[in-house]
Amino acid sequence: MGKSGYLTLRAGAEAQGEFEDRRSRFIAQLVHVADEAAADAFIAEVRARHHDARHNVPAWILSDGRERCSDDGEPSRTSGMPTLEVLRGAGLADVCCVVTRYFGGTLLGPGGLVRAYTAATQQAVAAAEAEGAIVEMTLVTPVVVQLPYALYDRVSRLIDEAGGKVKDSLFLEDVQLTCAFRAGTEAPFLAAVSELACGEELARAGDPRFAEF
DSSP the chain: --SSEEEEEPTT-EEEEEEEETTEEEEEEEEE-SSHHHHHHHHHHHHHHTTTSSEEEEEEE-TTS-EEE--TTSSTTSSHHHHHHHHHHTTB-SEEEEEEEE--SS--HHHHHHHHHHHHHHHHHHHHHHTT-EEEEEEEEEEEEEE-GGGHHHHHHHHHHTT-EEEEEEESSSEEEEEEEETT--HHHHHHHHHHTTT---EEE---EEEE-
Residue 204 pLDDT > 70: yes
Task: Label residue 199 by pLDDT band (50, 70, 90).
Answer: confident
Same domain, 104 and 171: no
Residue pair 105/54 in contact (Cβ under 8 Å)? The answer is no
Same domain, 69 and 156: no
The radius of gyration of the chain from alpha carbons, rounded to an integer in Å, stands at: 23
Same domain, 86 and 167: no
Same domain, 54 and 23: yes
Distance CA 125, CA 130 (A): 9
Distance CA 116, CA 123 (A): 11
Same domain, 44 and 94: yes
Considering 71, 104, 132, which residue would you say is the last residue of a domain?
132
Average pLDDT, the chain: 95
Same domain, 98 and 121: yes
- What confidence score (pLDDT) does residue 89 get? 96
Q: What is the CATH number of the domain that holds 74?
A: 3.30.230.30
Same domain, 103 and 205: no
What is the extent of the structural domain holding 143? Answer: 137-212
Same domain, 17 and 88: yes
Same domain, 82 and 97: yes
Say which residues have a Cβ less than 8 Å from residue 102's Cβ, sequence separation at least 6: 24, 25, 27, 50, 52, 53, 54
Considering 84, 116, 132, which residue would you say is the last residue of a domain?
132
Residue pair 2/26 in contact (Cβ under 8 Å)? The answer is no
Distance CA 65, CA 210 (A): 14
Same domain, 12 and 103: yes
Q: What is the CATH number of the domain that holds 190?
A: 3.30.70.240
Considering 132, 164, 192, which residue would you say is the last residue of a domain?
132
Count of helices and strands (H, E) across the chain: 5, 11
Same domain, 113 and 22: yes
- What confidence score (pLDDT) does residue 187 get? 95
Same domain, 155 and 111: no
Structure confidence by residue, pLDDT tens digits, 25-54: 999 999 999 999 999 999 999 999 999 999
Structure confidence by residue, pLDDT tens digits, 54-97: 999 999 999 999 999 999 999 999 999 999 999 999 999 999 99
Q: How many domains does the chain have?
A: 2
Residue 152 pLDDT > 50: yes
Average pLDDT over residues 188-208: 93
